[in-house]
């Protein structure tokens, strides 16, 4: 029980990848609710007006030991299957943030597998 998943959001989209990673996996097709991902800054940012579910860039997920997990300046972002919360919970990814995690919690920020 000393292993956990490390989530790094890349600056690329699905079409820009040609090979699989040496270890871990690339994940595509997630959407963010309540905020957006700022590719230039590499952090969560406030959502644009009228953009309800912005697409996420490709995420690189790999297993690491808990002592190597970065827990500073991160928001523990829940991942849900659909917009219905609760029974559709899948996992929690640590996403980098310049703001306090409480801001994103109060905004209800999450990742969705489908909109």
- Classify the phi-psi angles of 19: left when phi > 0, otherwise alpha if psi is within -120 to 50, otherwise beta: beta
Rounded CA gap, 113 and 37, in Å? Answer: 15
Do residues 69 and 94 lie in contact, with contact meaning Cβ atoms separated by under 8 Å?
yes
Beta bridge partners of 34: none
Query: What region, left, alpha or beta, does residue 11 occupy, with left being phi > 0 and alpha being psi -120 to 50 degrees?
Result: alpha
Which stretches of the chain score pLDDT less than 50? none
- Report which DSSP code applies to 108: T
List, in order of start, the domains of the chain with CATH numbers.
Answer: 3-112 (3.10.490.20)
13-44 pLDDT, tens digit each = 999 999 999 999 999 999 999 999 999 999 99
- pLDDT for 1 equals 72
């Amino acid at each position: 029980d000393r292993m956990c998943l490390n989530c790094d959001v890349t600056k690329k989209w699905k079409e820009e990848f040609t090979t699989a990673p040496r270890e871990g996996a690339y994940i595509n097709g997630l959407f963010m609710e309540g905020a957006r991902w700022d590719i230039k800054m590499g952090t969560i940012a406030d959502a644009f007006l009228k953009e309800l579910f912005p697409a996420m860039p490709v995420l690189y997920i790999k297993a690491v030991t808990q002592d190597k997990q970065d827990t500073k300046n991160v928001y523990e972002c829940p991942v849900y299957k659909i917009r219905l919360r609760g029974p559709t919970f899948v996992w929690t990814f640590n996403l980098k943030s310049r703001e306090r995690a409480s801001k994103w919690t109060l905004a209800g920020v999450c990742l969705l597998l489908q909109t």
